[in-house]
């Protein structure tokens, strides 16, 4: 009989990571079958369905279920509780041989808790990443999922060291590379044909891309204001395209910053883009300003300078050998580092070990070998 793998996902970055896993499973369809359970955490078209469409992920009942547990309807603790309950019911009925979760969002925690209760083996893709900042909800999520996992698939050597330090048995840990980079390398040429900069009337390498969504940045008025002061100065020197997360948009309106932003003549606000559009835009940018973990990795793979608007990162390899730099949220430092890049003083970096487009194949090979 084929082994059944259930993949749990729900947030925008998850879909980018699971696409190559699904492809790798399909290559072994004589031995494996899968089902994607979308928790519904991200529900807007541009945050969810467009990714399924662009990345070729089927959303037909045989391969796909959507739980509809939307992040705008429930606080995060309720989200996780509902996901756990719904997933337990599905696991009880369909009894998968393995549950796979990716990343550090609430959907990963819900999946991990349900698998643990139902005694279903659990694999965590992107295991071992640590910011060592427990004020971040994502850090707590990582710790929970890693503790419950039976297979821990790491993207970089520091993650392996973190897991060993946490007491995880070496037999459970596998350095496999980065599935997000699998997707990037596969779709890079296709994305370039979209020519997103041209559609937005931008000149290649003459604009910056901004994303901002983490609660520690957008939920604190003083912090968000400090970042906006920096953006106000930077946009006087270079065009900035701000891809505004729905949550961030609400906070801008709540804090009364919308009028100020409209007066920034060289800042263009834009809704979130689909995956291919985003890849096209970032790959031709001068640099990226972000608090996103995924973009730190993608810019490293693209050798695009990245300034991370945080005081730490759970992806240290992007700083150690990649093109990423941690600049915090202080206005003067953000401005200083941005101006360096504008003047041509930029870190190019190198591509990390095993970020070669084959991470998903390694993960599925391990699953077949160990089961």
What are the distances in angstroms from CA 279 to CA 141, 194, 356? 27, 10, 17
> Residue 308 has what pLDDT?
98
Same domain for 297 and 232: yes
Residue 185 lies in a domain: no
Same domain for 204 and 155: no
Residue 62 has pLDDT above 90, yes or no: no
Residue 194 has pLDDT above 70, yes or no: yes
Same domain for 197 and 172: no
> Residue 247 has what pLDDT?
87
> Residue 367 has what pLDDT?
96
User: Phi first, then psi: what are they for 178, rounded to 5°?
Assistant: -120, 115
Average pLDDT over every residue of 207-221:
95
Residue 169 lies in a domain: yes
Residue 170 lies in a domain: yes
Residue 348 lies in a domain: no
Same domain for 136 and 276: no
Q: Which of 183, 194, 258, 184 minimizes the C-alpha distance to 228?
A: 258
Residue 238's H or E segment, with its range, is none
Average pLDDT over every residue of 301-322:
97
User: Phi first, then psi: what are they for 325, rounded to 5°?
Assistant: -140, 130
Residue 329 lies in a domain: yes
What are the distances in angstroms from CA 314 to CA 132, 155, 349, 354? 8, 11, 18, 18
Residue 21 lies in a domain: yes
> Residue 161 has what pLDDT?
98
Are the C-beta atoms of 10 and 106 separated by less than 8 Å?
Answer: yes
Same domain for 131 and 67: yes
Strands 207-210 and 324-326: unpaired
Q: Which of 34, 88, 29, 39 minimizes the C-alpha distance to 57?
A: 34
The predicted-structure confidence for 229-247, as pLDDT tens digits, reads as follows 999 999 999 999 999 998 8
CA distance 362 to 99: 17
> Residue 224 has what pLDDT?
98
Print the domain residue range for 42: 3-177+355-370
Same domain for 116 and 24: yes
What are the distances in angstroms from CA 103 to CA 29, 154, 228, 267? 25, 11, 28, 31
- From the number of C-beta atoms within 10 Å of its C-beta (0-12, 13-18, 19+), residue 56 rates as exposed
Same domain for 198 and 168: no
Residue 209 lies in a domain: yes
- From the number of C-beta atoms within 10 Å of its C-beta (0-12, 13-18, 19+), residue 83 rates as buried
Average pLDDT over every residue of 202-230:
96
Same domain for 362 and 334: no
Same domain for 44 and 137: yes
The CATH number assigned to the domain holding 29 equals 3.40.50.2000
Residue 12 has pLDDT above 70, yes or no: yes
Residue 270 lies in a domain: yes
Per-chain mean pLDDT for the chain: 95
Domain tally, the chain: 2
Are the C-beta atoms of 196 and 273 separated by less than 8 Å?
Answer: yes
Same domain for 61 and 90: yes
Q: Which residues are catalytic?
A: 213
| Residues in CB range of 282: below 8 A, 6 or more apart | 209, 288, 295, 298, 299, 302, 304
Same domain for 159 and 28: yes
Residue 24, helix vs strand vs coil: helix
Average pLDDT over every residue of 222-231:
98
Residue 22 has pLDDT above 80, yes or no: yes
Token duo for residue 272:
């979130």
The predicted-structure confidence for 124-157, as pLDDT tens digits, reads as follows 999 999 999 998 899 999 999 999 999 999 999 9
Q: Which of 119, 98, 278, 112 minimizes the C-alpha distance to 200?
A: 278
> Residue 45 has what pLDDT?
64
Same domain for 239 and 157: no
> Residue 348 has what pLDDT?
84
């Amino acid at each position: 009989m084929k082994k059944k793998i259930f993949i749990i996902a729900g947030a925008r970055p998850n879909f980018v990571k699971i696409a190559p896993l699904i492809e790798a499973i399909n290559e072994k369809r004589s031995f494996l079958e899968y089902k994607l359970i979308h928790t519904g955490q991200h529900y807007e078209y541009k945050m969810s369905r467009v990714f399924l469409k662009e990345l070729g992920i089927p959303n037909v009942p045989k391969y796909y279920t959507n739980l509809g547990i939307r992040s705008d309807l429930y606080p995060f603790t309720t989200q996780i509780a509902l996901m756990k309950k719904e997933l337990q019911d599905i696991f009880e009925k369909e009894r998968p041989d393995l549950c796979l979760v990716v990343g550090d969002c609430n959907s990963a925690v819900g999946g991990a808790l349900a698998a643990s209760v139902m005694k279903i083996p659990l694999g965590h893709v992107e295991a071992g990443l640590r910011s060592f900042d427990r004020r971040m909800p994502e850090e707590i999520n990582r710790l929970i999922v890693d503790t419950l996992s039976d297979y821990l698939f790491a993207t970089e050597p520091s993650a392996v060291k973190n897991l060993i330090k946490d007491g995880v048995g070496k037999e459970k840990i596998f350095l496999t590379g980065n599935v997000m980079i699998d997707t990037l390398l596969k779709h890079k040429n296709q994305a370039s044909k979209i020519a997103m900069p041209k559609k937005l009337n931008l000149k290649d390498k003459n604009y910056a891309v901004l994303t901002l969504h983490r609660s520690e940045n957008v939920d604190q008025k003083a912090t968000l204001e400090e970042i906006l002061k920096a953006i106000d100065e930077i946009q006087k020197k270079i065009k900035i395209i701000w891809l505004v997360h729905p949550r961030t948009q609400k906070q801008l309106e709540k804090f009364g910053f919308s009028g100020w932003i409209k007066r920034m003549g060289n800042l263009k606000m834009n809704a979130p883009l689909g995956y291919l559009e985003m890849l096209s835009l970032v790959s031709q940018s001068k640099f990226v300003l972000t608090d996103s973990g995924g973009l730190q990795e993608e810019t490293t793979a693209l050798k695009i300078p990245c300034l991370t608007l945080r005081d730490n990162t759970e992806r240290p390899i992007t700083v150690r050998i990649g093109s990423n730099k941690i600049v915090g949220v202080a206005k003067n430092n953000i401005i200083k580092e941005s101006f360096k890049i504008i003047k041509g003083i930029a870190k190019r970096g190198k591509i990390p070990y095993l970020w070669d487009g084959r991470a998903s194949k390694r993960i599925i090979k391990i699953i077949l070998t160990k089961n």
